[in-house]
Structure 1
Amino acid sequence: MADSIDADTRLALDLALTIRHDGQGGVADDLTDPAGLTTWVRGHAELLPGADAFVADAAALAAVRDLRAAVRSLFARAVRPGDPSPADAARLLPVPQAVLRLNTAAALAPTVPVLTWDDGAEPVVRRQAVGGAAPLPALLARAALAFLASPDRSRLHACHAPRCVRYFIKEHPRQEWCKPSCGNRARVARHHERHRKSAQAVGD
């Protein structure tokens, strides 16, 4: 992920990308069991407090999968009028339901404003969880909310290279694909399609 992407954007995007191409023409899901969620959370220790000691159970898995469905549904809205990822385009949640799911998860840990004012610096107000660390669904929901309300949302796109189901943040205005390998596959597919149409026209 590019350095220009902030922590909330990266976390929201990485959650969506736990649904990905499996390399064989299908779609893989990294969150099919609690072990998969444990691995994913621990791989984001720099973004999620307490991730090193996190162990998922069935309830946590269900909550995060529900949240991911809401995030991907809102990503699909964000990329309009472009097409959503083909991985779940036929089973997206209605937008009001997805928004409610995110807001409900974000509210699982109340926060209060906390002022810090260091010598030689401007005062800063941050939101801090009441009563200790926020639960995982709340942290993920808040990251998604922050991303969806940020200017980065306008750079979100679905990659439509053959076999790809990823969402990505455009790093430059002309970027069409999430990574160079997807661009190569798309160009090869276009080349074959042109030749197929030419051969068909000659045959007719």
Structure 2
Amino acid sequence: MEYSISADARLALDLALTVRHDGAGGVTDDLTDAPGLATWVRAHTDLLPGTADPAVDEAALTAVRDLRAAVRALFARSVSPDAPSPADAARLLPVPEALARLNEAAARTPTVPVLTWGPDAEPVVHHRSATGEDPLTATLARAALAFLASPERQRLRACHAPRCVRYFLKEHPRQEWCRPSCGNRARVARHHARHKRTAS
């Protein structure tokens, strides 16, 4: 049985995954500056309607990074009692603060529903800014709220393969790692640990 992933879950997860393993033993952040955020937003225009040419400044960057910290803290709570991502373990926001940040961000820009209906597609309702303000942070927060309040949240896991810091949604019941390469690393690490114990 394969599971599908909703747009809200994909957006919330992709925001959390802007913190990732750098391939050299450390953690990297895709949102270190405004151009990095603009690049990330452009890569997600299918999930963020009306953001093909995002106007991103330092204030928007700070707001999105603050929201991401809240989302990752709430992801850590969601996977509990399992361990959170190693990238978060030592610096998680307290849950009440994370909830306050998420709710505050979701309320920043009022939205209105807008119907789109392409020639060969089903009608889709999107929520657009009612005020003309930049709705980026509010849109991301609302996607995270929808995901965290949905049954889909039960599939959220932290990948505990060596050097991985990602969260992922189980796509099938037996999935243990975020990617096959993480599964390979975990199996190799277990093999080396067993070999080391028997050699001692």
| TM-score normalised over the length of structure 1 | 0.88
Q: Give ranges in structure 1 of 5+ residues lacking alignment.
A: 116-123
Matched ranges for 1:110-149 at <5 A = 110-111=110-111, 129-132=129-132, 135-149=135-149
Report if the CA contact (8 A) 1:45-1:51 is conserved: yes
Q: CA deviation at 1:125?
A: 8.8
1:73 aligns with 73
RMSD (Å) for aligned C-alpha atoms: 2.2
Report if the CA contact (8 A) 1:49-1:133 is conserved: no
Report if the CA contact (8 A) 1:162-1:182 is conserved: yes
Greater C-alpha radius of gyration: 1
- Identify if the C-alpha distance between structure 1 residues 130 and 137 changes in structure 2 by more than 3 Å, giving closer, same or farther: same
Indicate the SS of the match to 1:168.
Answer: strand
Report if the CA contact (8 A) 1:73-1:95 is conserved: yes
Q: Give ranges in structure 2 of 5+ residues lacking alignment.
A: 116-123
1:51 aligns with 51
Q: CA deviation at 1:172?
A: 1.4
Q: What is the identity, as a one-letter code, of the residue corresponding to 1:6?
A: S
Matched ranges for 1:1-204 at <5 A = 4-111=4-111, 129-132=129-132, 135-200=135-200
Aligned residues: 192
Q: Deviations over 1:31-74 (max 9, x none)?
A: 00111001000000111122211032111110000000000000
Report if the CA contact (8 A) 2:3-2:172 is conserved: no
Percent of matched pairs sharing the same residue: 73
1:119 aligns with none
Q: What is the identity, as a one-letter code, of the residue corresponding to 1:160?
A: H
1:35, 1:3 → 2: CA distance? Answer: 34
